[in-house]
């Protein structure tokens, strides 16, 4: 009986002695899981704004309808269609200004040089009001013969023009599609094998305003 009491006492004393160690271990575990005050969560950096270029690679063309003027000089504001020869008539200036083939930035610089005779540090602004209509003509063995418009500020390829014209019919000759255009006042014919363009063996052919495309009969 006395041995049982002695054993019980020893067990109780052992538990009491181990309690502080268990508490310390528990506290240490909690401290490990607790976030440190000296390391606050990093704030996400704001995204940098995307730069958008204001320069246009579009080259002005004959028959484009544009607005031209000098900033803060209302009397200079005009709207004109670029002449067939690529020039524009500006009342303030004595001579016609050739601007077809120039980007808007280049044309503004060209006209600014001429306005310096009349204004101090002029700032010329050009705005396109309406693009000149550009088109090619597709005929022969295609699904929808007729004119195909060239999108503003874009190139039109032979493959895309044929697709917009309904594609080449089964009877159409794909090996030699003819493109007729005027170059230096003379009519020239360019022949393209559409099969090589479709397979990637040749780059697609870029068309020009007023080109005439003809798909012949494959049986001849």
pLDDT digits (tens, 9 = 90+) for 44-96: 343 333 332 334 688 999 999 999 999 998 888 999 999 999 999 998 888 89
- Which element (helix H / strand E) includes 146? strand 146-149
C-alpha 165/C-alpha 181 separation (Å) is: 18
Do 210 and 161 belong to one domain?
yes
Check pLDDT > 80 for residue 1: no
Is residue 165 domain-resident? yes
Do 145 and 209 belong to one domain?
yes
- Please tell me the predicted confidence (pLDDT) of residue 166: 97
DSSP string of 55-123, one letter each residue: ---PBP-TT-EEEEEETTEEEEEEEEEPPTTSEE--TTSSS-EE-TTSBHHHHHHHHHHHHTTTSSS--
Q: Give percent of the chain with pLDDT exceeding 90.
A: 63
Is residue 55 domain-resident? no
Do 125 and 170 belong to one domain?
no
Confidence grade of residue 153 (pLDDT, cut at 50, 70, 90): confident
Picking from 90, 113, 130, the residue at the C-terminal end of a domain is: 130
Check pLDDT > 70 for residue 119: yes
Do 110 and 139 belong to one domain?
no
Q: Supply the CATH number for residue 126's domain.
A: 3.30.1950.10
Range of the domain at 191: 135-215
Q: Supply the CATH number for residue 196's domain.
A: 3.10.560.10
43: DSSP letter: P
Q: How many distinct structural domains can be found in the chain?
A: 2
Q: Is the pTM of this model over 0.75?
A: no
Picking from 93, 111, 130, the residue at the C-terminal end of a domain is: 130
Is residue 155 domain-resident? yes
Do 113 and 154 belong to one domain?
no
Do 102 and 172 belong to one domain?
no
C-alpha 19/C-alpha 103 separation (Å) is: 86
- Burial (CB < 10 A; 0-12, 13-18, 19+), residue 98, is middle
Is residue 53 domain-resident? no
Is residue 58 domain-resident? no
Is residue 197 domain-resident? yes
C-alpha 103/C-alpha 156 separation (Å) is: 19
| CA dihedral for 14, 15, 16, 22, sign (positive or negative) | positive
Is residue 35 domain-resident? no
Maximum CA extent, the chain: 131
pLDDT (tens digit per residue) in 171-188: 999 999 999 999 988 999
- Please tell me the predicted confidence (pLDDT) of residue 197: 96
Do 106 and 157 belong to one domain?
no
Is residue 145 domain-resident? yes
- Which element (helix H / strand E) includes 24? helix 2-33
Check pLDDT > 70 for residue 17: no
Do 106 and 139 belong to one domain?
no
205: DSSP letter: P
Check pLDDT > 90 for residue 162: yes
Picking from 73, 98, 130, the residue at the C-terminal end of a domain is: 130
């Amino acid at each position: 009986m006395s041995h049982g009491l002695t054993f019980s006492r020893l067990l109780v004393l052992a538990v009491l002695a181990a309690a502080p160690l268990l508490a310390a271990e528990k506290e240490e575990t909690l401290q490990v899981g607790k976030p440190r005050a000296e390391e606050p969560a990093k704030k996400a950096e704001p995204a940098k704004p995307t730069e958008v270029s204001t320069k246009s690679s579009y080259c002005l063309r004959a028959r484009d309808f544009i607005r031209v003027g000098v900033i803060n000089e209302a009397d200079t504001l005009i709207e004109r269609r670029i002449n067939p020869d690529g020039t524009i008539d500006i009342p303030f200036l004595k001579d016609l200004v050739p601007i077809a083939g120039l980007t808007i930035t280049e044309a503004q610089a060209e006209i600014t040089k001429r306005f310096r005779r009349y204004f101090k540090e002029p700032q010329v602004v050009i705005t396109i009001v309406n693009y000149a209509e550009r088109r090619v003509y597709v005929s022969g063995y295609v699904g929808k013969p007729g004119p195909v418009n060239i999108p503003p500020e874009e190139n039109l390829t032979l493959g895309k023009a044929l697709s917009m014209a309904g594609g080449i019919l089964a009877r159409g000759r794909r090996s030699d599609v003819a493109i007729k255009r005027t170059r230096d006042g003379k009519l020239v014919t360019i022949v393209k094998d559409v099969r090589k363009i479709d397979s990637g063996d040749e780059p697609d052919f870029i068309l020009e305003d007023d080109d005439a495309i003809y798909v012949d009969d494959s049986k001849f």
